[in-house]
């Protein structure tokens, strides 16, 4: 008579395409394997942006940053309802160069689309140890700029870099790409809430980043090999606006790109709110110092990464306070307290990396 349980199970393939054998709990988890937040670009609390020539957070949707150094064109960015047919995605993030720069004017010029990670969320990579893991990035991309493009992992704790190239073969057509980054036994990532790692999608670069001869595809500390071969997306070689568009971004352990891990909209939104919260509508007014004023108390829906900064959006007026019969005010001021709550008269809170 056999028991209800056995010591091993036969080799099988999960619904996500991961094959495992003799292990009830696979070494690579089937859930929460994607380290990217908002990889399908459904969350865009801040809205689309125009006229950007320097660093801008939430640029192509939440958690995606435009980083322009010195100046390489003028950019608009955000999310739109465009994705590969049959892929399961409905949205994508875009960067559109609305005022082109024929080429880098300075050696230090660059433009990148980035996602930044807390070190405490990356300890499973085991970077800087003898058991360090390789990771694989997968994504869909579309651009009129055919040719070689560069995507990079940047270790901010140890100033180490690793780049991989991908080729856009057909203009204005969605293409699926993967890139595997080798394990790095040098330079552990800090186990805290500060920035430890970036994924950098290069869109243009000067000679300080491209003049090293060959692309640095292994972990290294040399700056001029980081973006060798990168085409200039803002170079105005086409008659229409230059753009670069992406969706379905996934970063996971191992050398295999598994199908994209779909999360609920609510889960992804909550993960984004750790870094940025956009309050809208009337906020609750609390009397302060009797008739001498009021303050608005915002209770954060989740604990933010760090003590946020507040920014006023729209106009404040006495109508916000009249319901309590107290004296109104015509301006808001910030009184940030903790990453749990704020005594703040602002509509947006930022705790980005």
Q: Does domain 49-273 have CATH number 3.40.47.10?
A: no
- How much is the pLDDT for 160? 98
Residues with Cβ within 8 Å of 173's Cβ and at least 6 positions away in sequence, in order, are 142
Instruction: Provide the token pair at 279.
Output: 């309050």
Give me the residues paired with residue 221 across strands.
Answer: none
Nearest alpha-carbon partner for 201 in 6, 344, 60, 325 = 60
Pairing of strands 74-80, 160-168: unpaired
Torsion of CA 45, 82, 353, 228, to 10 degrees: -160
Sign of CA dihedral 172, 178, 181, 182: negative
Stretch(es) of the chain classified as CATH 2.60.120.260: 49-273
d(CA 135, CA 291): 59
d(CA 121, CA 109): 31
Instruction: Provide the token pair at 146.
Output: 């055919």
For the chain, 353 residues long, the average pLDDT of each consecutive 10-residue run is: 40 50 61 95 96 95 95 92 97 93 85 98 98 98 96 98 98 97 98 98 96 97 97 72 94 96 96 86 47 54 82 48 33 47 53 87
Nearest alpha-carbon partner for 169 in 151, 136, 150, 142 = 142
Q: How many CB atoms lie within 10 A of CB 134?
A: 13
- How much is the pLDDT for 38? 98
- How much is the pLDDT for 115? 98
d(CA 268, CA 262): 10
d(CA 155, CA 116): 10
Question: Is-contact 95 113, C-beta < 8 A?
Answer: yes
Q: Considering the entire predicted model, what is its pTM?
A: 0.84
- How much is the pLDDT for 285? 46
Q: What share of the chain is helix, strand, coil (3-state, %, to 5)?
A: 10, 35, 60
């Amino acid at each position: 008579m056999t028991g209800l349980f056995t010591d091993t199970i036969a080799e099988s393939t999960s619904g996500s395409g991961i094959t495992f054998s003799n292990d009830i709990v696979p070494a690579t988890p089937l859930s929460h394997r994607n380290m990217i937040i908002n990889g399908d670009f459904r969350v865009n609390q801040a809205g689309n942006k125009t006229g950007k020539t320097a660093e801008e957070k939430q640029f192509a949707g939440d958690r995606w940053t435009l980083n322009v150094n010195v100046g390489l064109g003028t950019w608009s960015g955000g999310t739109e309802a465009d994705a590969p047919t049959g892929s399961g995605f409905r949205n994508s993030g875009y960067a559109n160069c609305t005022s082109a720069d024929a080429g880098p004017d300075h050696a230090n010029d660059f433009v990148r689309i980035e996602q930044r990670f807390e070190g405490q969320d990356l300890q499973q990579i085991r970077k800087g140890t003898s058991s360090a893991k390789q990771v694989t990035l997968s994504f869909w991309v579309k651009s009129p700029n055919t040719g070689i493009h560069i995507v990079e992992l940047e270790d901010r704790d140890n100033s180490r870099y690793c780049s991989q190239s991908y080729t856009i073969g057909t203009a204005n057509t969605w293409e699926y790409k993967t890139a595997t980054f080798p394990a790095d036994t040098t330079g552990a990532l800090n186990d805290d809430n500060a920035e430890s790692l970036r994924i950098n999608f290069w869109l243009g670069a000067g000679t300080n980043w491209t003049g090293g001869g060959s692309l640095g595809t292994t972990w290294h500390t040399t700056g001029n090999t980081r973006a060798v071969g990168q085409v200039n997306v803002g170079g105005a070689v086409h008659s229409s606006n230059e753009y670069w568009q992406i969706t379905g971004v996934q970063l996971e352990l191992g050398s295999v790109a598994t199908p994209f891990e779909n999360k609920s909209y609510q889960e992804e939104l909550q993960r984004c709110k750790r870094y940025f919260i956009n309050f809208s509508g009337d906020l609750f007014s609390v009397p302060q110092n009797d008739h001498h004023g009021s303050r608005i108390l915002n209770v954060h829906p989740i604990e933010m990464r760090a003590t946020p900064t507040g920014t006023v959006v729209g106009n404040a007026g006495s109508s916000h306070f009249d319901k309590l019969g107290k004296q109104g005010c015509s301006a808001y001021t910030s009184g940030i307290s903790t990453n749990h709550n704020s005594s703040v008269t602002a509509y947006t809170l930022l705790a980005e990396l």
